[in-house]
Amino acid sequence: MTRIPIRRALISVYDKTGLEDLASGLHAAGVEIVSTGSTAARITAAGVPVTGVEELTGFPECLDGRVKTLHPKVHAGLLADTANPAHEAQLAELRIEPFQLLVSNLYPFEATVASGASPEQCVEQIDIGGPAMVRAAAKNHGSVAVVIDPSRYADVLAAMADGGFTQDQRRQLAAEAFAHTAAYDIAVASWFASAYAPDEVARDGGWPKVAGALWRRSDVLRYGENPHQRAALYQDLSPELRRLDPSQDPGGIAAAELLHGKPMSYNNYVDADAARRAAYDFAEPCVAIIKHSNPCGIAVGADLAQAHAKAHACDPVSAFGGVIAANGPVTAALARQIAEVFTEVVIAPGFDAEAVDILSANKNVRILWCAGPGGRPPGTPHSGGVTPRTPHSRGDSIPPGPPDGGTSPPMPPLGGPAGPPGVLVGSLEWRQVSGGMLLQTADRVNEPGDDPLNWQLKAGEPVGPAVLADLAFAWKACRSVKSNAILLASGGASVGVGMGQVNRVDSARLAVARAGDRAAGSVAASDAYFPFPDGFEILAEAGVRAVVEPGGSIRDHLTVTAAEAAGIPLYFTGVRHFYH
């Protein structure tokens, strides 16, 4: 069974956006409409025939509207599997007509809580009949389409013209419906545990017995922390509150708007969130420069241009390829300073038009608009010349089928052809960022390049089995070191570790300093390539006898030349293991 023509629809909504147009379109297509209370009244006022649910059930709405649709003639019509002859026979025997469409959304519980309503009013806004209908129709998506978002009404009318929703479309609508009721239940349970019925620990310490969140995928990233890892960005799902007042939750870095440049990567988001937090903590003009999640410069000043100059002066070497956040609108003067040094991302709550022109002259820089906590940093406007677009829309249309020939196919689902089959929750990693989280497949050090048999010798003579064993140990152990990571090893043990530095030269120095005399004769592993030969040269001067690194820099030849000059074997793995 694929498309199912819609002959009968049940409509019961709190949010009546677009209701009249939907009802008129369904009526024009010959659909019988059954509805409840104020929804039915609105449809009638639009001049569209409607059957009240009390006419269907023969039972009046009662208990101040608490009981309207909790009746077999409603739920049997939603739950009947019309592909099952036994169900069809029972419907005929009971004189119940099935529904092919349910349109429903729920009482605004989150918005009621956020409004400061009394506990009694909040409890009254806990929907019972709505979730029961939505879950019933979603379970029975083989026979019924369920629509919970007014932005989908255009899809309903389009499906009518095509002979109904396809099975895949009904399945997708059901998934949205279950996410909707899940978010609703989480909101209710969280409020009960934290405010309405807290236990002693919650009352005294503020920690509720249960806490929950629901996340919506907002973007599939090119890759995760490393190229062999797959990743996606998710946003916190609390639609009712955001619809009521978007300024209450600007969404953090997860909802930032890309004004120019290539799509954001996993590591861009991690560093951008660190930069945003560092700069936006200050009320006075502040600029932060971030590398590997750590500031390599942060300063306040009379204006942002002065703050940036002071922050850059802290560590000009590490600032190359960094992520910069300013806590106010970026001016042309600041943009000119930033443009002098290669920068991955620039984050701010606004950009002058001239500043955007200056920064976008470099196609590789990403310009990111991002509000501060509470909507904007103190004393700064929403935007200084560039108005951001809405970052993420909840109204994406339902795909009609396979992508067109000219459209890039979507990324396979987790566990599909692009990754290991049957990916389980335990093999995923998540990292929270402001307004959302990053989800990625785990880095297990089991790529082909992690096997020494697949390494490429780029300089020097092949090492013997004992040294190769130490290199293999160092390579695997280095994955657990925070980037930038350099690990020295000898005899199957680390002798010096340089971790978490904002440039690889400092990590090399730190590893050598910690190893002391043990550096001579040890081997070294680097979690990522040497962007310049200086980091490698520090290891060579300390007496390291062999080095393993991923390779992949446009300046690899300089490191290879340094290794040849020093007579030190240098192996490339072809796989990176950043860890932040």
Contact between residue 530 and residue 506 where contact means Cβ atoms under 8 Å apart: no
C-alpha to C-alpha distance for 274 and 292, rounded to whole angstroms: 9
180 carries an active-site annotation: no
Please tell me which residue in 71, 87, 139, 310 is annotated as part of the active site.
139
Cite the beta strand spans of 205-285 per DSSP E.
Answer: 215-220, 231-236, 257-260
Name residue 571's beta-bridge partners: 457, 548
Beta bridge partners of 219: 233
Two tokens, residue 377: 């940093």
DSSP output for 122-183: HHHT--SHHHHHHHHHHHTTTT-EEE--GGGHHHHHHHHHTTSB-HHHHHHHHHHHHHHHHH
Classify burial at 205, counting beta carbons within 10 Å of its beta carbon; exposed 0-12, middle 13-18, buried 19 or more: exposed
For residue 340, what is the DSSP state? T
Give the position of tokens 């059901």. 174
Per the listing, tokens 């809580």 go with 113
Compute the distance between CA of residue 274 and CA of residue 178 in angstroms, rounded to an integer.
34
SS3 letters across 509-568 = HHHHHHHHHHHCCCEEEECCCCCCCHHHHHHHHCCCCEEEECCCCCCHHHHHHHHHHHCC
* Residue 139 annotated as catalytic: yes
| Angle made by CA atoms 467, 473, 478, in degrees to the nearest 5 | 125
Degrees (nearest 5) of the Cα angle 121, 124, 125?
A: 95
Give the strand pairing for 8-12 and 101-104: parallel
Q: What's the farthest any 2 CA atoms get from each other in the chain? A: 93
Separation between Cα atoms, residue 112 and residue 187, nearest integer Å: 11
The residue annotated as part of the active site, out of 292, 308, 312, 482, is: 292
Per the listing, tokens 């506990």 go with 119
Give catalytic residue positions: 139, 292
